[in-house]
Amino acid sequence: MLTDWDHNAWYHRLLLRQVPSGARRVLDVGCGAGTLQTRLAPTVRQVDGVDRSTAMLESAARRVPPNVMLHHGDAMDVDLPAGAYDAVLSLSALHHLPLEKALPRMASWLRPGGVLAAVALPRVDLPRELPVEVAASAVHHGLGPLFAGVRRTTSRSAFAHEATHDAMPVADGALCTREVREHAAAVLPGVRVRRLLLWRYLLTWTKPVN
């Protein structure tokens, strides 16, 4: 379909911008086939990724550079070092997890001053979010044919779905953005959550230094 393109890839840059300058070790939770880690690797000395799918990790292992370490396990019980990371990122995985338990675990992996940043799917909040839903549909259908044209005429991926797309687990968001904000604030004071245009939200939190 001309209008079918990868919204997760659209938000790679947004997540990468949340990584603190000079970060030396970054974790990707729900790393999938390794795309985000591959983009992180040129500027971060060590990139770790964790995923519970063996198939996804096998795909990641074929593409990631040597400074990427892959961990097999569920984010809720995987054994990762506390206080080891300058940033913990997650793309379209947080809505698969129990939010109020997952966030403290992810926060525990951060060094003081480290940043937690996650992009995930919210439940649609109608009629409150009707204007943004209409805008999202217009942008999605408007950009789809443009990206398809770029893919036909150049070698650029132009937000095409990855080869592993159909094997990725899919789940709808259980909480709308304002509910995510309320639940997250109960366990991470100072957390920020905002709705993004293309059916995602961005959650960010900086671990206190003191």
Q: What's residue 171's pLDDT?
A: 87
Edge-to-edge order in the sheet of strand 25-29: 68-72, 46-51, 25-29, 85-91, 110-120, 200-206, 192-196
As given in the structure block, the two tokens for residue 51 are 């995923």
Alpha helices in 45-118 (DSSP H): 54-61, 99-108
Give the residues of the chain that fall short of pLDDT 50.
none
User: Distance between CA atoms of 127 and 5, rounded to whole angstroms?
Assistant: 26
**How wide is the angle at C-alpha 176 spanned by C-alphas 161 and 93, nearest 5°?**
40
Q: What's residue 4's pLDDT?
A: 87
The answer to whether 27 and 108 have CB atoms below 8 angstroms apart is no
Q: What's residue 170's pLDDT?
A: 84
8-state DSSP, 182: H
The residue behind tokens 């990762």 is 80
Q: What's residue 164's pLDDT?
A: 86
Give the pTM.
Answer: 0.94
